[in-house]
Amino acid sequence: MTGTTDRNQKLPAEAGSDAAYPLFYRRPVVLRFEEHGKKAIAPQSDYRFAAKTNAVPVSVAEFSSAVSHYPVVFAEGELAPVVVLGLKQGENHFLEADGNWRRETYVPAYLRRYPFILAQTPGQDSRALAVDAESERFVELADSDPDRRIFNADGAPSPITGQILAFCEAYHQQHLHSVEFVNALKEADLLVARHANMRFPDRSRYQLGGFRIVDPDRYRKLPAETLQVWHEKGWLDAIALHLASQKNWNLLMKLDRDRTEAA
């Protein structure tokens, strides 16, 4: 895009909140031996499924890993924490041409979890492992390494499925902790709307909005008793990492410039 016309863009609302399914998932189905006994999961080969998104969710537990690579902000909607991957909608600067993630860059757990996800059992306080049936990694057992089968011959989950289930359960628990953290930020009225103003080498200008950050002034005015509780929960560290990550907007600008020059 050339010219000097301002373009206002927003980060997507919390992943999947405006769609029938979460971000990236096209047809999630609960895994059942009767239906999927001859299915397997192919190894993770690339992340091309994330090519057209400029933000993905992260949990509070990931802030310490994400702070070196991405701006961590809170997307509008449910105010879920996300990492920003690109300055424009549909733009991901961390996906390489061969489908690999950018070398020596943290890969968010949300991406590593795909195509699996936990599904809530209707009317029960239990969850079942589901998979995106449209994923290229969900393959026939005959076309895959037998060790990557989803179910054993007796119908029990295979070892690799057990590992996947444990990962998804851990992700779910981290998500619940993140929801508690965000709710505390909202109750304390610390989150304020922000936008990123950018001017590119072709003289085009963009304004990326649709996100919030912690207001440092409001944060410093929190009462001592609140700070003590948040310290015990590890939330003060999370806020410090979130604020420190804002320096990475400059990194995104550099990645955008490098890609433009290469093109």
pLDDT of residue 12: 44
Tens-digit pLDDT profile for residues 42-61: 998 899 999 999 999 999 99
Region 8-24: mean pLDDT is: 57
CA dihedral over 227, 106, 177, 182, signed as positive or negative: positive
Within a 10 A sphere around the Cβ of 171, how many other Cβ atoms?
21
Task: Report which secondary-structure segment, H or E, holds 120.
Answer: strand 116-120
Q: Which residue has the higher pLDDT, 65 or 262?
A: 65
Residue 19, pLDDT above cutoff 90: no
Strand partners, 194: 211
Does residue 238 contact residue 178 with C-beta atoms inside 8 Å? Answer: no
Residue 106, pLDDT above cutoff 60: yes
Does residue 64 contact residue 230 with C-beta atoms inside 8 Å? Answer: no
**Whole-structure pTM value:** 0.89
C-alpha distances out from residue 13 to 8, 61, 119, 206, Å: 15, 21, 21, 19
